[in-house]
Amino acid sequence: MNKLPPISNEDRPKGIQRIMSLPNKGLKALWDSIIIEEDQKHRLLSQAVLNFTMRGKVPRTVIPLHGVIMLTGLPGTGKTSLARGLAHRVAESFPKDKFRLLEVEPHSLASAAHGKTQRAVTDLFAQSIAEAAAIAPTIVLLDEVETLAADRAKLSLDANPIDVHRATDAVLVQLDQLAEEHPNLLFVATSNFPQAVDQAFLSRCDLILEVSLPNAEACERILKDCLTGLGEFYPAIGRLAQDRKFTQCASACVGLDGRAIRKMVANALASDQKTAMNPELVSMDALFTAAEMAKETRNAGDKQ
Q: Per the CATH hierarchy, to which homologous superfamily does domain 9-210 belong?
A: P-loop containing nucleotide triphosphate hydrolases (3.40.50.300)
pTM summary value:
0.88
Residue 271, CA distances (Å) to 32, 171, 194, 247 in order: 29, 47, 37, 21
Whole-number percent of the chain with pLDDT over 90? 79
DSSP per position, 67-121: SEEEEE-STTS-HHHHHHHHHHHHHHH-TTS-EEEEEE-GGGG--SSTTHHHHHH
pLDDT at 128: 93
In terms of Cβ atoms closer than 10 Å to its own Cβ (0-12, 13-18, 19+), residue 74 is middle
Q: What is the mean pLDDT of residues 65-70?
A: 97
Q: Which residues of the chain does CATH 3.40.50.300 include?
A: 9-210
pLDDT at 304: 60
pLDDT at 4: 47
Chain segment 100-146, per-residue pLDDT in tens: 999 998 888 765 444 577 888 999 999 999 999 999 999 999 999 99
pLDDT band (50, 70, 90) for residue 298: confident
Chain segment 259-280, per-residue pLDDT in tens: 999 999 999 999 999 999 999 9
For 246, the 3-state DSSP assignment is helix
pLDDT at 152: 84
